[in-house]
A = this chain, B = another copy of it.
Amino acid sequence: MGKRVTLSDIARHTGLAISTISTVLNGHAGTRIPSDTAQRVHEAAELLGYAPDPAARGLRTGRSGIIGFISDEVTVTRYASAMIRGLIDTADTADYVVVMSETDHREERLERALEVLRTRRSEGLLFGLMSARRIDLPPLGGAPAIVVNGVAEGVGSVLPDEERAGREAVEHLVRRGHRRLALIGRSDVHLDPAVSVTIGDRMAGIDAAMAEAGLAFEHEVEAVYWEPEVSHRGAAEILDHHPEVTAIIALNDRMALGVYQAAQERGLSIPADVSVMSFDDEQLASYLDPPVTTMRLPYLEMGALAMERLLESVVSGAPIPDSRMLVPIPLIERGSVREIRGPGTA
């Protein structure tokens, strides 16, 4: 909050005209760089600690240096924090600043956020979702926009590569000798784009890898609500009636917790008696005992990539292609999958 140094300060200091300073500092303009005086200008700027006033500059240029980030709810899962960090960092290196708003899933709040951002002359809009759904967006008036972890009509989006993640999860198990698998979580509701646009891909990847390995699930437990209680019951079915199963795939970490609970009730040990794999890698995943091997949703990378693409569009003026950009989902190997030798039996 000290006194700000302006162009006129450095003009006075160098004895040059304000416009000269501005021209030099902005480089590109007018004629070539008058190398000798340019030097003086830069030195003076450095010395006095000059930084252009974004408001004044914006008034003149129409560019605010602001990117609006609108999310339905900020982070409930482990790496959502990383998504914010990823996008802020990327914005920062381009001298953009991120203004946050949360809609709490309410339409009116979304409208309000857009209005505020518009009057602030936000140069781009980044929509962040905490679950990869399809959403409806009000007309954006052609402002550059992108969706992270979700999709919307006519807007580019950044998504986790769930198809590949599904394949790799299965392949990981198969490579370790598992051939009798069970699955918890498949259900038709998750195929509704308003619920999820990625679970379908995840399942496709899983099914493809199973087929390629010549396998079929010994048992599948449907689950609409992906919560521990549901998978607790589901895992009980599997453990009690399908002892041949050596590995259980839970479609998220919370359901993995349910599997752990069922196993523990029965005195079964993970991974000695049964292996578990899951998806998402939320905070919970590392709390389990043993920590569960899971596919980590790459929030940081998604945030960074989305901001990168958005800024490209903002500066170049070229629209963001209305397509899906996929980010790989790494497998986080922990202690819940064991290697088995002979063709799998429990």
- Interface residues in chain A, defined as those with a beta carbon under 8 Å from any beta carbon in chain B: 1-2, 4, 51-56, 58-59, 64, 69, 73-76, 78, 80-81, 84-85, 88, 92, 97-102, 104, 112, 115-116, 118-121, 140-143, 227-229, 232, 254, 257, 261, 264-265, 282-284, 287-289
Among the listed B120, B140, B283, which residue makes an inter-chain contact with A97, where contact means beta carbons less than 8 Å apart?
B120
Among the listed B58, B88, B121, which residue makes an inter-chain contact with A100, where contact means beta carbons less than 8 Å apart?
B88
A87 CB, min distance to chain B CBs, angstroms: 10
**A84 and B100 form a contact (CB under 8 A):** yes
Instruction: Report B-chain residues with C-beta under 8 Å of the C-beta of A115.
Output: 51
Instruction: Report B-chain residues with C-beta under 8 Å of the C-beta of A121.
Output: 4, 53, 55
Question: How distant is the Cα of A261 from the Cα of B287 in the complex, in angstroms?
Answer: 11
**B88 and A81 form a contact (CB under 8 A):** no
**A73 and B81 form a contact (CB under 8 A):** yes
Instruction: Report B-chain residues with C-beta under 8 Å of the C-beta of A140.
Output: 1
Instruction: Report B-chain residues with C-beta under 8 Å of the C-beta of A85.
Output: 73-74, 102, 104
**A102 and B88 form a contact (CB under 8 A):** yes
* CB nearest neighbor in B for A84: B74
Given the known interface contacts A53-B119, A84-B74, the answer about A287 and B289 at a Cβ–Cβ threshold of 8 Å is no
Instruction: Report B-chain residues with C-beta under 8 Å of the C-beta of A265.
Output: 264
Q: How many copies does the complex hold?
A: 2
A86 CB, min distance to chain B CBs, angstroms: 10
* CB nearest neighbor in B for A85: B102
A-B contact pairs, 26 of them (CB 8 A): A2-B118, A2-B141, A4-B121, A51-B119, A53-B119, A54-B119, A54-B120, A55-B55, A55-B56, A73-B81, A74-B85, A75-B75, A75-B80, A84-B100, A85-B102, A85-B104, A92-B116, A99-B99, A99-B100, A228-B288, A229-B289, A232-B289, A257-B287, A282-B283, A283-B283, A283-B284
**B84 and A76 form a contact (CB under 8 A):** no
Instruction: Report B-chain residues with C-beta under 8 Å of the C-beta of A141.
Output: 1-2
A253 CB, min distance to chain B CBs, angstroms: 9
Most chain B beta-carbon contacts within 10 A, residue among A73, A88, A100: A100
Among the listed B58, B143, B228, which residue makes an inter-chain contact with A1, where contact means beta carbons less than 8 Å apart?
B143
Question: How distant is the Cα of A118 from the Cα of B52 in the complex, in angstroms?
Answer: 11
Among the listed B55, B97, B102, which residue makes an inter-chain contact with A116, where contact means beta carbons less than 8 Å apart?
B97
A242 CB, min distance to chain B CBs, angstroms: 22
Question: How distant is the Cα of A4 from the Cα of B74 in the complex, in angstroms?
Answer: 30
* CB nearest neighbor in B for A68: B97
**A56 and B59 form a contact (CB under 8 A):** yes
**B119 and A102 form a contact (CB under 8 A):** no
